[in-house]
Chain A
Amino acid sequence: MSKTKILMITAVFSLLVSGYVFASIDVYPFKNQQLEQRFNHLTEVLRCPKCQNNNLADSNAELAQALKDIIFEKIQAGESDAQIIAYLKQRYGDFISYQPPFNYKTLVIWVGPFLLLILGAMGIFKYASNRQTVNAKSYVETETDTEQREKLAQWAQDFEQDSNSSEDKS
């Protein structure tokens, strides 16, 4: 490939990339960066009611776009995050938020995992302690045990003697 060809390809690609970046930044003209950060945060934690596994930031649905317009207007008008979320919840319900509220309907999802963890820990604890006591209780020294113990001691003695004698030879 000639140098000019490579240069041309790079130029075309850089044009494509720069166009894309420009488009994604210039949609909402915020007064300052702090407001823009709030907007980015809100559109990330809020869910699009139309395309249900997208947040507002990721969604291209017409409704998501309209809701983003409203959030932009409200941020520019000086409304707080809580006010904006309340406005949307009033219309689309708790569904709009990825953070479910803590009430009797959502008790299971908030408390359930911890309850399962405690239950599981209790189960394991009970099982383990049970097993230990069973082992301790059922352990009675038998004749075979004594015999094997003596055998083992004998082997150890033999081994020691063997190694000692081999050392002597060398």
Chain B
Amino acid sequence: MAQSRRLLLYTLPLALFILMAALLFSGIGKDPTLLKSQLVGKIVPEFQKKTLLNPNEMITNKDIHGPALINVFGTWCPACYHEHPLLIDIAQKEKVTIYGLNYNDKREDTIAYLNKLGNPYSKVIFDENGRLRIDLGVYGAPETFVIDKDNNILYRHVGVITKSSWESKIKPFLFSKNTSKSDNKSPLHKNAAEAITK
């Protein structure tokens, strides 16, 4: 009795160490500043803004048609320049609709930016006072929202889209969930079937 108790006492620090190490190890590579979007699972919020290219043309949430990406950018954002070529690739080669949300910018600056670097956006929402990006819970640029055919927000990507994050994180949302709703449920069905066979 006393011996097993002593054994427990001796192995306790080791067990604690292993637990701690596992906990800390799981944190490696995670970005602690990454925030979860409150809008995932919700529909694109209502808005009414002018378009970038035509100050007389209004754009509202009803003019947004998923499945698509909404890319939040600004000409004052260095990372956006970095992301831009990939957005053009996604729009042209993968035939994905991308809406731009340009905030806190001057109209002529953004037009010059798109003329110089190319325009991957089917429409650019001109959010001059930056209020729409607050409605979207945006806390920096670039950010990219994936929406399905009913304009539900499926995913929010914070920071630059890279080739690997496009393939592994964004593309799966865009090409599976919005095509049909049964696709969405298939993993559940599988689990149910497994449970029954067991």
Interface residues of A (CB under 8 A from B): 49-50, 52, 62-63, 66-67, 70, 89-93, 95
- Whole-angstrom distance from the CB of A64 to the nearest CB of chain B? 10
Contact for A90 among B33, B38, B130, B131, CB less than 8 A: B38
Please report the number of residue pairs spanning A and B whose Cβ atoms sit closer than 8 angstroms.
31
Q: Nearest 4 A-B pairs (CB), nearest first?
A: A49-B139, A91-B137, A93-B38, A50-B139
Asked if A66 and B135 make an inter-chain contact with CB atoms under 8 angstroms apart, the answer reads: no
Asked if A95 and B35 make an inter-chain contact with CB atoms under 8 angstroms apart, the answer reads: yes
Asked if B36 and A93 make an inter-chain contact with CB atoms under 8 angstroms apart, the answer reads: yes
Q: Can you give 29 A-B contacts (C-beta < 8 A)?
A: A49-B35, A50-B139, A50-B140, A52-B32, A52-B33, A62-B104, A63-B139, A63-B140, A66-B130, A66-B134, A67-B134, A70-B134, A89-B38, A90-B38, A91-B38, A91-B39, A91-B134, A91-B135, A91-B136, A91-B137, A92-B35, A92-B38, A92-B137, A92-B139, A93-B35, A93-B36, A93-B38, A93-B137, A95-B35
- What 1/0 mask marks residues of chain B from 112 to 153 whose CB sits below 8 Å from any chain A CB? 000000000000000000110011110110000000000000
Residue of A nearest to B76 (CB): A62
B residues in contact with A92, CB < 8 Å: 35, 38, 137, 139
- Whole-angstrom distance from the CB of A129 to the nearest CB of chain B? 18
A residues in contact with B137, CB < 8 Å: 91-93
Q: How far is the CA of A63 from the CA of B76 in the complex (A)?
A: 14
Q: How far is the CA of A156 from the CA of B36 in the complex (A)?
A: 79
- Whole-angstrom distance from the CB of A31 to the nearest CB of chain B? 23
- Whole-angstrom distance from the CB of B32 to the nearest CB of chain A? 8
Q: How far is the CA of A89 from the CA of B128 in the complex (A)?
A: 23
Q: How far is the CA of A63 from the CA of B140 in the complex (A)?
A: 8
B residues in contact with A63, CB < 8 Å: 139-140
B residues in contact with A70, CB < 8 Å: 131, 134
Residue of B nearest to A94 (CB): B38
Q: How far is the CA of A127 from the CA of B104 in the complex (A)?
A: 64
Q: How far is the CA of A91 from the CA of B42 in the complex (A)?
A: 11
- Whole-angstrom distance from the CB of B164 to the nearest CB of chain A? 25
- Whole-angstrom distance from the CB of A108 to the nearest CB of chain B? 13
- Whole-angstrom distance from the CB of A79 to the nearest CB of chain B? 15
B residues in contact with A52, CB < 8 Å: 32-33
Q: How far is the CA of A101 from the CA of B179 in the complex (A)?
A: 37
Residue of A nearest to B37 (CB): A93
Q: How far is the CA of A8 from the CA of B121 in the complex (A)?
A: 60
